[in-house]
Amino acid sequence: MAVGIFDSGLGGLTVLDAVSKRLPDVPFVYFGDNAHTPYGVRDADDIFELTTAGVERLWNAGCDLVILACNTASAAALRRMQEKWLPEDKRVLGVFVPLIEALTERKWGDNSPPREVAVKHVALFATPATVSSRAFQRELAFRAIGVDVEAQPCGGVVDAIEEGDEILAEALVRSHVEALQRRMPSPEAAILGCTHYPLMEQVFQAALGPEVRVFCQASLVAESLADYLDRHPEMRGSGAEAQFLTTGNAQTVSNKATQFLRRPIRFLAA
């Protein structure tokens, strides 16, 4: 009954932490492609190949359902995977859906025409690849009208977080917020469109100001996954134990993950 969590590196641990607390009886298998992080500067074909390889490894670990806890993979590879690659007995879900549901206050299965929503000016902070894909804007347009989205590619932030350089990460976040505010001075809401960014949520909030509502994905994904498993219990795979897998150096990744989650984490070579 294991569920897979895929990420390009360590950012997906924010999602893992939330879903583990929400669903304590479900064993989760986490796959971090740390050898190839960051994905945000790669092209779509490269991201697709790396993502599918990681997802196949999670299938081998007994996970019939995999969450792409990576916005770049969700933006650049998910649609292609679902349309042309995914076997009928497997499911791969992205992290955009719960976010857009929260922003539009509209369930994903609601196929009524797009309508106006309360929030009109949205700041999107994401990796360069996610921004260039325009996947968030495309999915939002199916459900809402009259929403102005200003996207800021946040180069360097993931690298700084992965390297544990908190001072550099904070400086980069403030710089990216300032750059966005020059184009959209008064956003009503901000989307942290990368699962690394919750680690910098307080910095984003402080730079944006208290009047801006910051949407963070981890808790939204946890609630969405709980609802999905209630409706599709057959997607709980055959895996029986929690695991942490990485393409990187297992000891180095374990040390960094332990710092991130503030509890002992032991990664194994994927």
* Catalytic site positions: 70, 194
Residue 85, helix vs strand vs coil: coil
d(CA 64, CA 86): 11
User: Beta-strand (E) ranges in 65-147?
Assistant: 65-68, 91-93, 115-116, 121-126, 144-145
Burial of 83 (0-12, 13-18, 19+ CB in 10 A): exposed
User: Phi-psi region for residue 213, left (φ > 0), alpha (ψ -120 to 50) or beta?
Assistant: beta
Residue 24, amino acid? P
d(CA 82, CA 87): 9
d(CA 233, CA 241): 17
